[in-house]
Structure 1
Amino acid sequence: MEFIQNVLNGQDLPLQYLVLGGIAVSVFFVILGISGMTATDDTAARRMRVGSISRGHGTDFDLIQGDDSDPHGLLKAFVPSSKRERSRIGRMLKQAGIQRKHAVRSFYLFRLVMGFVLPAAFVMALSLPLETQVQLGIAGLLQSITWVNALQIVTALMVTGFYGPALWLRHRIRKRRQAIEHSLPNALDLLQVAIEAGLGFDAAMVRVANEMAHAAPEISQEFTILQLELQAGKERQAAFMDMAERVGIDEVSSFANAFLQSNQYGTSISASLRRFATDMRIDRELRAQEKANRLPVQMSAVMAMCMMPVLLLICLSPMVIRWINMFG
């Protein structure tokens, strides 16, 4: 304790900054505890536990990721103990294209670090000497901050650092789905051309994935993961259904069902792909026409709000001027 007091006295830190840092840490742990209480707990006990598989990161997107066991040790502080919650976050990470080992743990650790780093950076900026703040160009902003404003900013930074990565993850999932939806018809056309050229379906998917690695990396990654799962011995139906669930787009689910039906009934895969790509383009054109037809209705309210005051002013201004001249 004496050593800590000597360090604090040597730094000449104001007491309000130390109290502010303590309040920030307390509020963070309160938010962390509330989020942990709201998560459902998985009470199912496991009789057998398989050890994790140690292997390097390569172009196979870490498909063999080992056991997703319950967190133990320090991992219990920031990783939820609920199996359902971890599975949900893991599925969202896969939908965002993050295929790494221990991705769930890294995501929660990043949230924890950001929840500490942003408030700590603000408190450190407040505790800097006035000369340093002037050199950094932040003296004018920090000097006008009161005690209540500083507490509000620290709380806002803590909440932003903790919940910001979740918002970023949803935004990335939405952008990735749009990219896959736009590039899927072109990928199906290339797949059809490769099959008609004499390649098998698996070889055609590998060729399309390699050709579209730069133009459409999202669909290329999904095709590569699908082929790696098939090569690892996974059933074809399960691999296609997992790809549809991982992407979360209706068009990919329809593509998986169309291929499985063609494979089951022995129909031509090339004809199915050609028809499916054509239907996707027609559906995209219909959606664009629907948005274009909604524009006049949406613009009418805006035009009415902007034009009606001007029209009323033009129509009523001469009358108002006459009344002023007569009764003024």
Structure 2
Amino acid sequence: MNTEQWLFLGLVFLVVAGLAALAMFLFGAGALRQRIGALEEPPGGKDEEGRWIERVARVVQPFTRLSLPEEGWERSELRTRFMNAGWRNASVPTLYFAAKTVLSLGLPAVSGALAAGLASRMPGQGFMFLLFGAATLGYYLPNGVLANIARRRQRDIFENLPDALDLLTVCVEAGLSMERALAKVAAEVHIKSVVLAQELQLVLMEMRAGFSKEKALRNLALRSGVEDVDTLVAMLVQAERFGTSMGDSLRVHAENLRLKRSQAAEEAASKVAVKLLFPLIFCIFPALMVVLMGPAGIQMSRIFLDQPH
């Protein structure tokens, strides 16, 4: 074999070895590193999202002092709103009050920078009003986000509660205890509503941790913030206290909730016609009038303008 053949064989070897190494890196090494990382992670360690939230909370900790009330907020309605929104991380208050501070200071700064070119033509009161409005918007924007998230979560619980009660009724009438029935419902309803399943699992964990059934159920009503859940908890407590049939009580309450859900849907459907009036009047009708009357108006204007005076 001459030199050219040896060089050709060496080039083929390098190409094949490179392709094999690339295939191992893409299809084998990545999965292997993931498995090794999963093994190296200590049991009960926090996930990446939790670590990221804690790092952000440590960074924005100095901004919290400007918006955090001095005392008493832990027992205020804001703490309950955090639970209604499903925010249970210990860093949530820090991030919430830091967001209020950053937004109330950042939005006026951005607005002032954008309006700096118009400051000469804008009166001083108007410029100050712009800054004050931006600061107010930034301070109360986290409140609106929190209320929106809590409202959507409460709606999810309200819409899926009758189906969960039907399954709970079947489990109780089949002879299961309340704890086993709640575990079964939490496992099955997870497919349809993750929020409701998480709340039921929290009830089970509280009961297994030593809480009484009444205390765990009342905590469920407090966390959810849904009036129907509060009524359900009161019904379950009374049924267990007075020895009435749990299955019959659950069935009646599920029927009432289903009727209430259908009435809410009918009410929302009946409001559609009224809500459509505004886009019809202000958006569609003007365009329709231009399309219908435009050609006639152009023709009439030509006729009248062409006539001699």
Note whether the superposition's TM-score is higher than 0.5: yes
Structure 2 matches for 1:273-312, cutoff 5 A? Answer: 273-300=250-277, 303=280, 306-307=284-285
Q: 1:101 aligns with which of 72, 82, 90?
A: 90
Q: 2:169 aligns with which of 174, 187, 192?
A: 192
d(CA) in 1 for partners of 2:262, 2:139? 40
Once the two structures are superposed, what CA deviation does each residue of 1:132-156 show, in whole Å capped at 9, x if it has no partner? xxxxxxxxxxxxx767159989988
**Matching residue of 1:262:** 239
Q: Is the 8 A contact 2:64 2:97 kept in 1?
A: no
Structure 2 matches for 1:80-159, cutoff 5 A? Answer: 80-84=69-73, 87-101=76-90, 103-112=92-101, 114-115=102-103, 148=116
Once the two structures are superposed, what CA deviation does each residue of 1:269-315 show, in whole Å capped at 9, x if it has no partner? 11222222222222222222223333334445654565485788899
**Residues 313 and 279 of structure 1: is their aligned pair in 2 closer, same or farther, counting only changes over 3 Å?**
farther
d(CA) in 1 for partners of 2:250, 2:114? 65
Q: 3-state SS of the aligned residue for 2:184?
A: helix
TM-score, structure 2 as length reference: 0.59
TM-score, structure 1 as length reference: 0.56
d(CA) in 1 for partners of 2:196, 2:115? 51
Q: Is the 8 A contact 1:80 1:86 kept in 2?
A: no
d(CA) in 2 for partners of 1:99, 1:93? 7
d(CA) in 2 for partners of 1:161, 1:199? 51
**Residues 78 and 259 of structure 1: is their aligned pair in 2 closer, same or farther, counting only changes over 3 Å?**
same
Residue 318 (structure 1) shift: 9.3
Q: Is the 8 A contact 1:185 1:281 kept in 2?
A: yes
**Matching residue of 1:226:** 203
d(CA) in 1 for partners of 2:96, 2:189? 29
Matched length: 237
Unaligned runs of 5+ in 1: 1-55, 59-72, 124-144
**Residues 281 and 315 of structure 1: is their aligned pair in 2 closer, same or farther, counting only changes over 3 Å?**
farther
Residue 158 (structure 1) shift: 6.7
Of Structure 1 and Structure 2, the greater helix share is in 2
Residue 234 (structure 1) shift: 3.1
Unaligned runs of 5+ in 2: 1-43, 47-61, 120-126
Residue 87 (structure 1) shift: 2.8
Q: Is the 8 A contact 2:104 2:138 kept in 1?
A: yes
Q: Is the 8 A contact 2:207 2:213 kept in 1?
A: yes
**Residues 75 and 108 of structure 1: is their aligned pair in 2 closer, same or farther, counting only changes over 3 Å?**
closer
Q: Is the 8 A contact 1:179 1:216 kept in 2?
A: yes
Residue 83 (structure 1) shift: 0.4
**Matching residue of 1:272:** 249
**Residues 316 and 106 of structure 1: is their aligned pair in 2 closer, same or farther, counting only changes over 3 Å?**
closer
Q: 2:221 aligns with which of 244, 263, 284?
A: 244
Larger radius of gyration: 2
**Residues 115 and 295 of structure 1: is their aligned pair in 2 closer, same or farther, counting only changes over 3 Å?**
closer
Is 1:207 the counterpart of 2:196? The answer is no
Residue 184 (structure 1) shift: 1.0
d(CA) in 2 for partners of 1:99, 1:251? 22
**Identical-pair percentage:** 25
**Residues 93 and 158 of structure 1: is their aligned pair in 2 closer, same or farther, counting only changes over 3 Å?**
same
Query: Which AA in structure 1 matches 2:70?
Result: S
Q: Is the 8 A contact 2:63 2:98 kept in 1?
A: no
Query: Which AA in structure 1 matches 2:204?
Result: Q
d(CA) in 2 for partners of 1:228, 1:249? 21
d(CA) in 1 for partners of 2:75, 2:268? 37
Query: Which AA in structure 1 matches 2:116?
Result: V
Residue 162 (structure 1) shift: 4.9
